[in-house]
Amino acid sequence: MRIILGVSAGIAAYKACELLRLLTESGHRVRVVPTPAALNFVGAATWAALSGEPVEVSPWESVHEVPHVRLGQNADLVFVAPATADLMARAAAGQSDDLLAAVLLTARCPVIYAPAMHTEMWEHPATRANVATLRGRGCIVLEPASGRLTGPDSGPGRLPEPQELFAVAQRVLARGQAAAEPDFAGRSVLVSAGGTREELDPVRYLGNWSSGKQGYALARTAASRGAAVTLVAANTELPDPAGTRVIRVRSASQLRDVMLAEAGHADVIVMAAAVADFRPAVRSDVKIKKTGAVPDPIVLAENPDIVADLVAARQRPGQLIVAFGAETGDVLANGRAKLARKGCDLLVVNQVGNGLAFGTADNEATVLSADGTEVKLPRAPKDEIADTIWDVVVGRLGSPGG
C-alpha cells in the first residue's frame, strides 16, 4: 500500500519515526511529507533514511512531478501524526500553503489525523470546531491520549503510542476505500473490556481469565471507523487503544456504576467485559491466614446483572445494546437463553475454555439477534472479528444523533 505520513511541527514528531518503521517493515511504501517547521524536531535526512523515499516539504520541489497533486491522488492512506492545532486549522480552512496541506486537499483516500498538543489547545473552541469540520468531511480524527505532555504538564493531548497508531492504520487499510467515509462518524460508542476482580482480602480475589483483547479490539476498530469511543477497562495490561477515552475499574460494582453513568451519551453499548457472577459476601480487612484448621466456608453474594441494568435504564432513542456470552456446552442454546433473559439487542456468543477465546489473538463467535437472526463469525484475528461485529451493528442503527 502507498501511504503518505504527514508530520507537523510538534515535539511528538519523534514518535512518528517508530510509526514509520512499523509501516515500512509491514511492507507498505511510505512517503514522509513533513511541514517545514516539523524539520525543527526531526530532520529530512532521518525521514529519508527510515523510509527509503525522498522527502520534500514544498510544492516547488520536483515540480515536474507535480507533487502537490500526485502524492494525494496516488495514496491509499494519508496519516498525519502528530497533527498540531495549526495543521488542523489550515486543513479545515482548505489552505494549501505547504506541500502537506496541498496533499490533504488532493487526497481521495482515507485520511487520519492523530492530534498532539497541550490540553488547553486541544480543548480550545477553535480547535474543537476544526476537528468537527474535518470529521464532518469524512476524515478520521482520533482522540489524543492523556498523560505527560511537554515539560511538567499532564492531561489530554498526548500522541497515542506508535504501535496503537499502526494498528489503526492497518484496520483502515484493511477496509479499503470503504474507510474513506467512516460509517461511525458522529456516533458515540461505549465498550467494556477485561475481567472484574472481587476482593476476598487485601491480597486475594475472585476473577476470571479474560485478557481484554476482544474488547480492546472493538474499541480500536470503532475509533478507526470514526466513532467517539469510551473504553471501560477492568484489570487489563494492554496499552490504551489510539483514539479512545479510557476509564479503569476493578470490581463488578465499579464497572456497573461507570457503565450506567456513561450510557446516556452512547449510541451503542458493548459489554465485552467478563463480569464475575459472584463476590465474597464479606471482605476481610486482613490477610486470611492458613492455620491448619479447616477454614470457614466463603459465603458468596451475587453480583448485579449489568447488561440487564443497562437495558432497564435505556433512555436514549435508538440506543443499541450488545452483550457478550462466554459459554461452554451447548453454546448456541445457552446464548439464546441469555439473550432472552437479558433483553439486549444483540448477543455475541463464543465458546471458551481449553485454549479458546480467553487470552488468544483470535476468536470465533456467533452474533445472535433479538429478532432471531444469526451471523456466524469464523475464526479470525480479534480485530477482524470486531470489524465484523461493527458491520452487524451499523446496519441496525439509524442516522447519527437520531
- Supply the residues annotated as catalytic: 208
First to last CA, the chain: 36
User: What is the sign of the dihedral through the CA atoms of 16, 21, 23 and 29?
Assistant: positive
Say which residue the cell 479510557 belongs to.
Answer: 246
Using DSSP's 3-state secondary structure scheme, residue 177 falls into helix
Distance CA 26, CA 163 (A): 12
* Residue 374: all three cell numbers together: 444469526
Which residues 6+ apart lie within 8 Å of 17 measured at CB? 42, 46, 50
- CA trace torsion 229, 231, 237, 239 (10° rounding): 20
Q: How many residues does the chain have?
A: 402
> Torsions phi, psi of 153, nearest 5?
-70, 150
- How many angstroms separate the CA atoms of 358 and 142, rounded? 28
**Residue 168: all three cell numbers together:** 489503526
* Cα–Cα distance list, 227 to 190, 192, 283, 393 (Å): 10, 15, 39, 13
Closest CA to 77 of 104, 58, 52, 54: 104
Helices and strands in the chain, H and E counts = 13, 19
Strand partners, 330: none
DSSP 85-130: HHHHHHHHHT--SSHHHHHHHH--S-EEEEE---HHHHHSHHHHHH
**Inter-residue contact 150 to 82 (CB < 8 Å):** no
